[in-house]
Structure 1
Amino acid sequence: MTDEEKKTNPQEAADTPSDPAEPGSRPTASVAEADAESPKGDNPSPEEEKESGPEIPEVLPLLPVRDIVIFPYMTLPLFVGREGSVAAVDEALARDRYIFLATQRDPSVEDPKEGDLYRTGTVAMIMRMLKLPDGRLKILIQGVVKAKIVEFIEAKPAVRVRIDRIVESPMKEGSLEVEALMRASREKIEKILSLKNMPVEILMVTENINNPGVLADLVASNLRLKIEEAQSVLEEEDPVTRLNLVSTLLSRELQLAEMQAKIQNQAKEEMSKSQREYFLREQMKAIKQELGDIDGKSEEADDLKGKIEAAGMPEEVKKEAEKQLRRLEGMHPDSAESSVVRTYLDWMVELPWAKETKDNIRIGTAKEILDEDHHDLEKVKERILEYLSVRKLKDKMKGPILCFVGPPGVGKTSLGKSIARAMGRKFIRMSLGGIRDEAEIRGHRRTYVGALPGRVIQGMKQAGTRNPVFMLDEIDKVGADFRGDPSAALLEVLDPEQNFAFSDNYLNVPFDLSKVLFIATGNVIDPVPPALKDRMEIIPLSGYTDVDKLAIAKKYLLPRQLEENGIRPGKITMRDKAILAIIHEYTREAGLRNLEREIGQVCRKLARKIAEGEKGPFAVTPKSLAKYLGAPRNLPEMEGEADEVGVSTGLAWTPTGGDILFVEVSLVDGKGGVMITGYLGDVMKESAQAAITYVRSRAAKLGLPRNFHAKHDIHIHVPSGGIPKDGPSAGITIATAIVSSLTGIPVRRDVAMTGEITLRGRVLPIGGLKEKALAALRAGISHVIAPARNAKDLEEIPKHEARQVRFTLVKTMDEVLSLALTRDPFRWKKRKTKPRRGKGAPAKGAGKPKRPPRAKGPR
């Protein structure tokens, strides 16, 4: 029921369950209500009351009310539920029905004290009372006179107060000013009633009132005023001043009524349900604007407009943002489209269009930071310092895309963090491992439900600046499927010629990525598409030697594990031999992750002892490692072995670093078949076939009969059959093992080799020589045979590592055989004894070859 309907139906208004004494309600009393509840024959006129004046006791029970101010001559129902309020009503009914009503300053206070109540209130008479089933009381009260609280007397069970009645001085008759003021007030009331289409009978009540104070109270009681405004009217004792104040409030109400009527006239024709809702919202907006209040939608629009101005967007982007803001203002706030536009604008204003951190580049400090965070890696550090130097000399430069490639655990990700710390920039890491959806990079179109920008734009928002260090981790593990190729989407991100206007599908406006320093990492570079690889500067990171691992463990790993396990420095000492024993016997890796895990396990075991009360200090030795880590898991491959026939040592490259592999060859009676086992790939099998063909072509020079292959089967096996192996670099290793098995000459155990073989015995270059050299060093091999065309790769091997291994560069397979076998197979003598079978020389029946001319092969 609307307020207008309540005023025209006094009975329904009186019965409306409004509870000023309880929170969340605000009853109103109209002129019609007062007339309906108080007939003229029962209520004295104001003039009669002035002359006689009702006898009001000085001490009355107090009833605090919320959300309303009670005026004299005001009749309305109240619901009473608080314990003290019920007691006050009972006391008033037991005496003379008079009760004092005072308004609370804060409606939410359940138990108001003296400071929570206004001192000026109204003495009212309880006309009716009804007890409700839930224990509350419904009373009908009528205001009598104004009064002030002089003193609070009692608090229990009901609050009682001593009051001082406010008696207004009689007005002088015939004052033109007062008469004009009253007439103006009546005219305003008449206009308001006409604008709201209410019955004019209500105006008759005001026509019969000649006292300006009574008129002011009656009008104020029927205006929907704030508590503070209504209380100020009640507290004003001078009738003329009070009527002036009410006249001002009537003027404001008249303006609101006129605005309301204007809005109603504009939106009256052909109004559907949705149009009616729009009209009501516009009506509320107009009213709030007239009152000086701004609705939430306007506040949001103004807030977004201010953020757009402050974001520093390029002109093209700013126009798009303002266009979307205008669309948002014209939408229903609860529509689905408005939610999409609002989310889009939130992204637009939160992106760092103009914010950037100032580079604080000091080459000396940067070098100290890199040396502090990482051991060795001199070539990588040198390239980083070169970039920082150029950046310091030239502000506007296109940032290179660095790509660190190396086995796990060598410090690729932490290098990116060190670069960001050296430059004073924010660091953002985005893992690309397993991403198969192109939308992860470029984002989704806004037409999709739940669309978001791509992870590149999300990272820029997270950084809060447009020039962070952005790490693209595991770039070699990006996949592709029916949803697109993410690596193709990265082409625009990582191209300095294009990324100044990177276009995200969600934003649909260009975003400048040219000032971002992108750093990519990967374990292998082969899976990266050539077009993407061409946009990056590849910086390889090889594994660490034992000496490097020892230094890193002492400087970084052990102190970090002691701190993480709550062990004070000096409580545990780990000798160098113990760390080397962990490296050799418990870890076999190019990086450092497993080494740190094993050191952490030792620290945890000792932390338990300390927690159980043992004082220490504790010394970790190689002999005590088994107690903490169990039996050694890795035994040296070459330890205790002698030179063998038919077994050669090769070097292999793996994504986790270099490794050694053995090739075994045995001869058995047969018909010239070849068996190749050991989970080998096609390329490696072809290398074995090429090695056999080479040996057959050199049979005469090696002292072998021409038909040696016709009566024997050759079995080539590479151990560790559960591990897939492929590649051409084992060609010379297989050929050496075949020649050793056929001639009976053992292969040197301290020699490892790598290289691709051709049918004519040429040795072709291979890759990953540095990693393979480190693998040989870890296995205790002191001599490495490599292709001559890999001489350039020797420069990448650190000097302190190169000094521990002797490299021999060869061009032909004949040179390899002269170096790898214990004696030169091309300088043979006629055998007087039968050759060994199995892993030895050719089997029985192979025949005794004639001595060929002495070959002049290289040594």
Structure 2
Amino acid sequence: MDNEIKSLPMVALRGMTIMPEMVVHFDVSRERSIAAVQEAMVEEQKIFLTAQKSIDTENPGMGDVYEVGTVGTIKQIIKLPKHIVRVLVAGETRGRLKEIEYQDPYLRAKVEVIDEADLMIPDDPGAEAMERGLKDILVEYAAKNGKMSKESVAQLLDIKGVKKLVDEIAANIPLYYTDQQEILDETDFQKRYERLCFKLVNEVQIMNIKEEIQKKVKERVDKHQREYILREQLKLIREELGEDSTISDAEEFENSLKKLKAPKEVKEKLQKEINRFKSSLNSPAENGVIRTYIETLLEMPWDKAAKDNNDIEYAKQVLDEDHYGLEQVKERILEFLAVRTLTKKGDSPILCLAGPPGTGKTSIAKSLARAMKKPYVRISLGGVRDEAEIRGHRKTYVGAMPGRIANGIRTAGVKNPVMLLDEIDKVSTDYKGDTFSALLEVLDSEQNSKFRDHYLEVPLDLSEVMFITTANTLQTIPRPLLDRMEVIEISSYTENEKLHIAQEHLIPKQLEKHGLTPEQLTFSRHAIWKMARNYTKEAGVRQLEREIGNVCRKAAKEILTTERKKINVTDRNIQKFLGKEKYTYQMANTAPEVGIVRGLAWTSVGGDTLQIEVNVMPGNGELMLTGQLGDVMKESARAGISYIRSVSGKYGIAEDFFEKHDLHVHIPEGAVPKDGPSAGITMATAMLSAVTDKKVRADLAMTGEITLRGRVLPIGGLKEKLLAAKSAGIRTVLVPKENVADVEELSSEITKGLEIIPVENMDEVLERALTGE
């Protein structure tokens, strides 16, 4: 059935949608809207009402209003002041706007009146189910909304018929006009029903969420309100009792500030924070952060310094008591104390003690603090990779704290302690920042007087702190950082030094630790020497101390389980306590041999000797290298063979010798990797000996790098290498001529019994090494 087309006056509504079955008042003030209402009264009182898409449009056209509106009957018109007309309208049926016939003096439109008599409505069971479901949703919506009266809800629930119920609910519930317009637009009843249900359920969910949020907010506000009231009551009670802690805290901070010796900038910062503390009493979280910050600043020793010890004799006595040897380190410390006494200035050098583990680097810093009568702070940097560990965290972060440097100063209680930065070579770097770069400011005497810790936010003077750093190797320390430190090399201990250290320090310490007395357990010199030589292999004395402790434990057990009152450990019965020997030294060969030369090597646990063997066999000129040689040693071997070939005529080697023979260079202990730039002349001598069939002296060892022209280049680790040669029974050692200065620095204890011959080129080496047999 076709819908009827009518020509009706039209009013465009702003922010309002009128539904069928709705009786409503609205005010009109625009001239055309008033004229349309008056024209409708003249005609059959019928008018077409549709909503504007935008409430700001003043003269709406066809595209500015919604297509579906409501055809209604005007029941009453009331003229109000200021040219406003109030209209009472009853909505009757839906209408679809076809066109606007004209706009002046009022809007008149062609409207298709939508006949809903033939709407597809489900049969009885379906309609009943839809009706009950909609009523259930309505009850829940009304309970949550609170804007609908009980009477209006009861009237809606009394309605029979699902179509009328949908229209009445859509007309009477307080939905936003765009939501009502969506329902009005639906001419299909099933979709209109679903749309209405969806809107109601959605509104219920929104109100549930809103209610939950409001409940949480109320709980939080109530909690803060309760805390505030209780805090105020507590404050009043304490005031009555004269125990107002908050006021006393602020007063205590201010009293401490008056007594504090600190730069003006620090005092101003503290006063500002104390004022903030007073004003943050109602915020416990902020109050706690400010309190911690103020306490930290007050605990820092800004201008509190330890008195320097000017007694150099006392310092020397302390250093000698605690350490045997380490003469270079002790001398440097005493020089520093002497200069400090004369100049009376607090500037301190930054010393870096570099050497193998167990050589006393860490303990020398502790002894220095005791010698100077200053507090001692040790900061271990091994594995530190976060820049904030050095510079601190900004106090805006949760759990912020000062960096390790500032915390160390606070712990020491003075601004000029002895601070040990242990294992500085083991600092690492990652995405959290470059820790080495953070240390640059700490260890630069030119700028550490204004060190900035992120937590403190005020400059901290580190210029009077005596920094001592330790490192096992200098290779991993960046050059800019290394440049700011004065490096003192601590080399391996000699066997004599280990003997003295064991007698004067290690044995008394271990006897006390194990509850023994010197009368119950004694060690002979040869027993200590054997422990150091055959049961340990190290540059320091840590393992030696463990072996002494091992002997002490077994001796303690024997004293308690037998009738023995005294035990004397000698080189003859040492195996009873420590078992069989763990290390043996390869002694010098008894007679000269062809193609076998003794070389010297430096390792992280001291020096060692390397016996290099060379064999010649028929072949086609190949050079074979075995014994786990590194790239540097392989290159030394190739340089050596090139040199030998260049001087083959001098030694009577046939021109085609290297084309018809292979050379095999081997260093025993093939499972142990070997590398380093100091075996060049050794391999060249061994190869020439094998090629010419001349024997090499058995009591001779050598160290040095070779060039293609036969020059001998200097090497490092000379002290450890000479000690290894001495232990192996070597009498003569060839060293590069450029290392003569290093030889002169060594003590007579090391060089005694050795003939050390400086060599400049291979001719001198071969002249000394080959026997001529």
Structure 2, unaligned runs of 5 or more: 1-219
Mean Cα deviation higher: 593-602 or 609-618:
609-618
What code does the residue aligned with 2:570 have? T
Residue among 600, 603, 608 paired with 1:659: 608
2:495 paired residue number: 546
Alignment of 1:495-514 (within 5 A): 495-514=444-463
1:366 aligns with 2:315: yes
Specify whether residues 475 and 747 from structure 1 end up closer, same or farther in structure 2 by C-alpha distance, changes over 3 A only: farther
Residue among 273, 287, 297 paired with 1:348: 297
Structure 2 Cα separation of the partners of residues 721 and 448 of structure 1: 56
1:721 paired residue number: 670
Specify whether residues 688 and 639 from structure 1 end up closer, same or farther in structure 2 by C-alpha distance, changes over 3 A only: closer
Structure 1 Cα separation of the partners of residues 537 and 239 of structure 2: 79
Specify whether residues 628 and 274 from structure 1 end up closer, same or farther in structure 2 by C-alpha distance, changes over 3 A only: closer
2:391 paired residue number: 442
Q: TM-score, normalised by structure 2?
A: 0.68
Specify whether residues 783 and 333 from structure 1 end up closer, same or farther in structure 2 by C-alpha distance, changes over 3 A only: farther
Structure 1 Cα separation of the partners of residues 725 and 255 of structure 2: 66
1:329 aligns with 2:265: no
1:431 aligns with 2:380: yes
1:760 paired residue number: 709
Give how far 1:276 is off: 4.8
Structure 2 Cα separation of the partners of residues 498 and 435 of structure 1: 23
Determine helix, strand or coil for the equivalent of 1:369: helix
Checking the alignment, whether the CA contact within 8 Å between 1:544 and 1:774 is kept in structure 2 is: no
1:532 aligns with 2:481: yes
Alignment of 1:1-80 (within 5 A): none
Structure 2 Cα separation of the partners of residues 275 and 547 of structure 1: 74
1:561 aligns with 2:515: no
What code does the residue aligned with 2:506 have? L
Structure 2 Cα separation of the partners of residues 326 and 298 of structure 1: 12
Residue among 568, 571, 575 paired with 2:520: 571
1:649 aligns with 2:601: no
Give how far 1:292 is off: 5.8
1:706 paired residue number: 655
Structure 1 Cα separation of the partners of residues 271 and 377 of structure 2: 30
What code does the residue aligned with 1:605 have? K
Specify whether residues 571 and 273 from structure 1 end up closer, same or farther in structure 2 by C-alpha distance, changes over 3 A only: closer
Structure 2 Cα separation of the partners of residues 334 and 628 of structure 1: 68
Mean Cα deviation higher: 643-652 or 812-821:
643-652
1:822 paired residue number: 771
Specify whether residues 289 and 406 from structure 1 end up closer, same or farther in structure 2 by C-alpha distance, changes over 3 A only: closer
What code does the residue aligned with 1:601 have? N
1:782 paired residue number: 731
Determine helix, strand or coil for the equivalent of 2:734: strand
1:599 paired residue number: 548
Specify whether residues 486 and 272 from structure 1 end up closer, same or farther in structure 2 by C-alpha distance, changes over 3 A only: closer
Residue among 560, 574, 577 paired with 1:611: 560
Specify whether residues 338 and 712 from structure 1 end up closer, same or farther in structure 2 by C-alpha distance, changes over 3 A only: farther
Residue among 249, 264, 270 paired with 1:315: 264
Give how far 1:428 is off: 1.1
What code does the residue aligned with 1:328 have? F
Checking the alignment, whether the CA contact within 8 Å between 1:638 and 1:749 is kept in structure 2 is: no
Residue among 349, 364, 387 paired with 1:415: 364
Give how far 1:810 is off: 0.7
Alignment of 1:97-246 (within 5 A): none
1:382 aligns with 2:331: yes
Give how far 1:413 is off: 1.4
Structure 1 Cα separation of the partners of residues 590 and 285 of structure 2: 76
Determine helix, strand or coil for the equivalent of 1:709: helix
Structure 2 Cα separation of the partners of residues 272 and 430 of structure 1: 46
Give how far 1:720 is off: 3.3
- C-alpha RMSD of matched pairs (Å): 2.3
Structure 1 Cα separation of the partners of residues 654 and 496 of structure 2: 49
Deviations 1:598-638 (A, max 9, x none): 11111111110112242332121212111110111111211
1:581 paired residue number: 530
Deviations 1:178-222 (A, max 9, x none): xxxxxxxxxxxxxxxxxxxxxxxxxxxxxxxxxxxxxxxxxxxxx
Structure 2 Cα separation of the partners of residues 521 and 686 of structure 1: 33
Give how far 1:694 is off: 0.8
Give how far 1:421 is off: 0.9
Give how far 1:639 is off: 5.6
Structure 2 Cα separation of the partners of residues 286 and 627 of structure 1: 76
1:232 paired residue number: none
Specify whether residues 286 and 639 from structure 1 end up closer, same or farther in structure 2 by C-alpha distance, changes over 3 A only: closer
Determine helix, strand or coil for the equivalent of 2:594: coil
1:266 paired residue number: none
Structure 1 Cα separation of the partners of residues 403 and 376 of structure 2: 18
Checking the alignment, whether the CA contact within 8 Å between 2:559 and 2:566 is kept in structure 1 is: no
Specify whether residues 275 and 458 from structure 1 end up closer, same or farther in structure 2 by C-alpha distance, changes over 3 A only: closer
What code does the residue aligned with 2:415 have? R
Deviations 1:400-457 (A, max 9, x none): 1111112222211121111111110011111222222222211222233222221111
Deviations 1:530-576 (A, max 9, x none): 11111111111111222222222222222221111111221222211
1:398 paired residue number: 347
Residue among 695, 702, 716 paired with 1:746: 695
2:213 paired residue number: none
Residue among 305, 316, 324 paired with 2:254: 305
What code does the residue aligned with 2:428 have? G
Deviations 1:214-254 (A, max 9, x none): xxxxxxxxxxxxxxxxxxxxxxxxxxxxxxxxxxxxxxxxx
What code does the residue aligned with 2:246 have? K
Structure 1 Cα separation of the partners of residues 529 and 369 of structure 2: 33
Residue among 807, 823, 826 paired with 2:756: 807
Residue among 566, 570, 577 paired with 1:628: 577
Give how far 1:492 is off: 1.0
Structure 1 Cα separation of the partners of residues 530 and 516 of structure 2: 22
Give how far 1:778 is off: 2.9
Determine helix, strand or coil for the equivalent of 1:700: helix
% of aligned pairs identical?
Answer: 50
Structure 2 Cα separation of the partners of residues 576 and 273 of structure 1: 81
Structure 2 Cα separation of the partners of residues 281 and 301 of structure 1: 20
Specify whether residues 337 and 646 from structure 1 end up closer, same or farther in structure 2 by C-alpha distance, changes over 3 A only: farther
2:468 paired residue number: 519
Give how far 1:640 is off: 6.0
1:791 aligns with 2:740: yes
Q: How many residues align?
A: 554
Specify whether residues 777 and 663 from structure 1 end up closer, same or farther in structure 2 by C-alpha distance, changes over 3 A only: same
Specify whether residues 279 and 440 from structure 1 end up closer, same or farther in structure 2 by C-alpha distance, changes over 3 A only: closer
What code does the residue aligned with 1:392 have? T
Specify whether residues 326 and 547 from structure 1 end up closer, same or farther in structure 2 by C-alpha distance, changes over 3 A only: same
Mean Cα deviation higher: 384-393 or 568-577:
568-577
2:722 paired residue number: 773
Checking the alignment, whether the CA contact within 8 Å between 1:311 and 1:350 is kept in structure 2 is: no
Residue among 242, 252, 261 paired with 1:293: 242
Mean Cα deviation higher: 283-292 or 727-736:
283-292
Structure 1, unaligned runs of 5 or more: 1-270, 825-859
What code does the residue aligned with 2:268 have? K
Structure 2 Cα separation of the partners of residues 409 and 781 of structure 1: 27
Checking the alignment, whether the CA contact within 8 Å between 2:703 and 2:715 is kept in structure 1 is: yes
Specify whether residues 812 and 319 from structure 1 end up closer, same or farther in structure 2 by C-alpha distance, changes over 3 A only: same
